[in-house]
Amino acid sequence: MLRQIIEPGFWMGFWVGAGLAIVIATMVVVVLLDRRFNRVHRLRVAGLYPAVGEPVTDHHYVALLRAGHVKCAARLYKKTQKVSGKEAAAAVERMAAALRSI
């Protein structure tokens, strides 16, 4: 066992495996981030998500809720109102309940 660890071939295989694991992890992170940014872009094109620099109004939350994007509405609320995730989810749920009662 000790002899295997001392041999250079062992360490070369170890570093190749470690490098491969890092590359795969990086690719997974990039793909997940790309999917998230594409979703926001699609919502912007559809007119549901505010453009960069555009002030956020209640109309944006309502449009997202009517289109069924509750999580995106909560994320937008959290980002713009500077509240916690739980508070944002509760506020968006209250908005959704008010929309359902209309």
More confident residue, 53 or 12: 53
Q: How confident is the model at residue 89 (pLDDT cuts 50, 70, 90)?
A: very high
- Cβ atoms of residues 61 and 95 within 8 Å: yes
φ, ψ of residue 48 to 5 degrees: the values are -90, -25
**Distance, CA of 89 to CA of 78 (rounded, Å):** 8
State the CB neighbour count (10 A cutoff) for residue 60.
Answer: 21
Tell me what pLDDT residue 39 has. Answer: 84
Based on C-alpha coordinates, what's the Rg of the chain? Answer: 23
Q: What is the mean pLDDT of residues 78-96?
A: 95
pTM of the model as a whole? 0.65
